[in-house]
Structure 1
Amino acid sequence: MSGCCDDKVFEGMSDGYKRALLAVILINAVMFFVEITAGLKSGSQALLADALDFAGDSATYAISLFVIGASLRTRAIASLFKGGSLAFIAIIILGSSLYRFLGDTVPAAETMGTIGFLALLANLTSLVILMRWRDGDSNVRSVWLCSRNDAIGNVGVIIAGIVVAITGAAWPDLVVAILLATLFLRSSVSIISQARAELKSGEVMQHDPC
């Protein structure tokens, strides 16, 4: 016999998941300081964009941990905030990248490649840690999506560093930053859409519980 109460979605109520989330928060916080320092010194817009994402992830993962066990409505609202924050970061990156297109500063390609590779290792580690919990409610899924985006972005930073070294131009760095911002926007839309659906689902369940 199946009913609306049988289709349980993982909500993060697991000690193992909470420990995994704490580990990933620490990884992201450390990498933010590493990348923001390297990005400022090297003049790389892509590294700065990735550093902002590490900072955003640290904050939103902490929110994810905080709302575990809360009501569906509270978790969905937290996901809406996270989706909005991701969109805000993307807009900042797009704006600063377009501004940098007017300049002629060429970032340090070697630093881009080295730090990009270090960040990739950090994000792949996070993905391995979170692999068991890649599906769930919008709160859980947003963590997985952000970590996946970060790994993709790191590959882009490494490729941009190689192209910058070959061409001696700044445009590969700026293009990757813009592509990262676009990816962040798409994930933001996905997170917000799922959160809105959960809010509607919660309203239905209040009126018609199983």
Structure 2
Amino acid sequence: MHTHQLEKWTHDHVFGQDQQREGEKRTLLIVLLTAAMMVVEISTGLISGSMALLADGLHMASHTVALGISVFAYVISRRLASDRRFAFGVGKINSLAGFASAILLLGFALTMVIESTGRLIDPVAIVFDQAIMVATIGLVVNGFSAWVLLSTPHEHGHSHDHTHTHTHDHAHEKGHDHNLRGAYLHVLADALTSILAIVALLAGKYMGASWLDPLMGIVGAALVTRWSFGLIREASKVLLDSQADDRKVNVLRAAIEHGSSDRVTDLHLWSIGHGIFAAEIAIVSDEPRSPEHYKSLIPAQMEIVHATVEVHRCLDH
């Protein structure tokens, strides 16, 4: 068989990963905003002597680094999209970045607990007016940043016509973008910190309840920890090639077996990136058809971009 005859039977594993995503541009904007606010908070904290504001600025610095990781993940995914060393493309870089962001969030939460506990034991003087003003500005910036990331439109991939699978358009749901979710959680954690700080500072200024400042820090740390574990759990499923949820597996099995003597004896369905899946299917049948026939039965909305089908004749008939 000549090389040109083989071309229609071969394919790449880019799966649209070489295209710039809307999340990348928006995350870059948030990195710049967060970095600018970080400089303002740290500078004001040093000038005013407000340890609370300085600590908040340092927290924002850690989030700037985490958001930078998110942008790096988007860029490196695009540049390595055609690298054949990656068996199923570079989609998992997205989840790896989300996992790293979640770990940083846990470190951020631990730092909040340590600092808050220290302030409960040994309270520090707070310059309330300056701290409230800058914390309010920080809340506005974080609120805007969260809105920008939350409003990122759903992305739609390219139609892939592969001989070994079916032609379809797969929609990438934002919920599958662990990298974008990690960036959003960092911004949300900053916004939460600002809200709790403002409440505590107002209570301290007008009610003398300075102890609320460190207490709110502990409450915020608990919420951030919960978000972190949720993101770690979701990203880990992709990184460890976990089987897709039972509903999705059952839909695929029913589509293959519907109205025939065909039976699926082995089925693996797992995520290989942002809203895209791979599948391996073993079928036993009294009257087996070609692998291409069974691939054509896979519902387009299942977003399966790589499918391998193994067909066997039932020896009992």
* TM-score bucket of the superposed structures, by smaller chain: 0.7 to 0.9
1:175 pairs, out of 196, 215, 226, with: 215
- Report the TM-score when normalising by structure 1: 0.82
In the alignment, what sits opposite 1:148? 188
Partner AA of 1:110 in structure 2:
D
Deviation at 1:202, TM superposition (A): 6.8
Identical columns (%): 24
Larger RCO of the pair (alpha carbons < 8 Å, separation 6+):
1
Residues 207, 195 of structure 1: alpha-carbon distance in 2 compared, 3 angstrom cutoff:
same
Residues 11, 162 of structure 1: alpha-carbon distance in 2 compared, 3 angstrom cutoff:
farther
- Structure with bigger strand share is 2
- Structure with bigger helix share is 1
Matched, 1:55 2:71: no
In the alignment, what sits opposite 1:109? 128
Q: Cα RMSD (Å) of the superposition?
A: 2.7
Q: Hey, what's the Cα distance between the residues in 2 that align with 1:149 and 1:173? A: 16
Residues 122, 12 of structure 1: alpha-carbon distance in 2 compared, 3 angstrom cutoff:
farther
In the alignment, what sits opposite 2:253? none
Partner AA of 1:43 in structure 2:
S
In the alignment, what sits opposite 2:98? 79
2:32 pairs, out of 15, 26, 30, with: 26
Count residues in correspondence: 200
Deviation at 1:207, TM superposition (A): 7.1
Counterpart of 1:106 in 2: which secondary structure?
coil
Deviation at 1:125, TM superposition (A): 1.7
Q: What do the CA deviations read for 1:114-161 (whole angstroms, capped 9, x no partner)? A: 111100111122123223226342111111222223223222211111
Partner AA of 1:64 in structure 2:
S
- Give unpaired runs (5+ residues) of structure 2: 1-15, 82-89, 153-173, 244-268, 271-277, 281-305, 308-317
Where does 1:57-206 land on structure 2 (aligned, <5 Å)? 57-68=63-74, 69=77, 71-133=90-152, 135-201=175-241, 205=270
Partner AA of 1:84 in structure 2:
I
Q: Hey, what's the Cα distance between the residues in 2 that align with 1:57 and 1:197? A: 24
Contact between 2:149 and 2:184, CA under 8 Å: does it hold in 1?
yes
- Report the TM-score when normalising by structure 2: 0.56
Q: What do the CA deviations read for 1:163-187 (whole angstroms, capped 9, x no partner)? A: 0102334212111222222222112
- Give unpaired runs (5+ residues) of structure 1: 1-9
Residues 179, 112 of structure 1: alpha-carbon distance in 2 compared, 3 angstrom cutoff:
farther
Moved over 6 A (4+): none
Deviates more, 1:20-29 or 1:168-177: 168-177
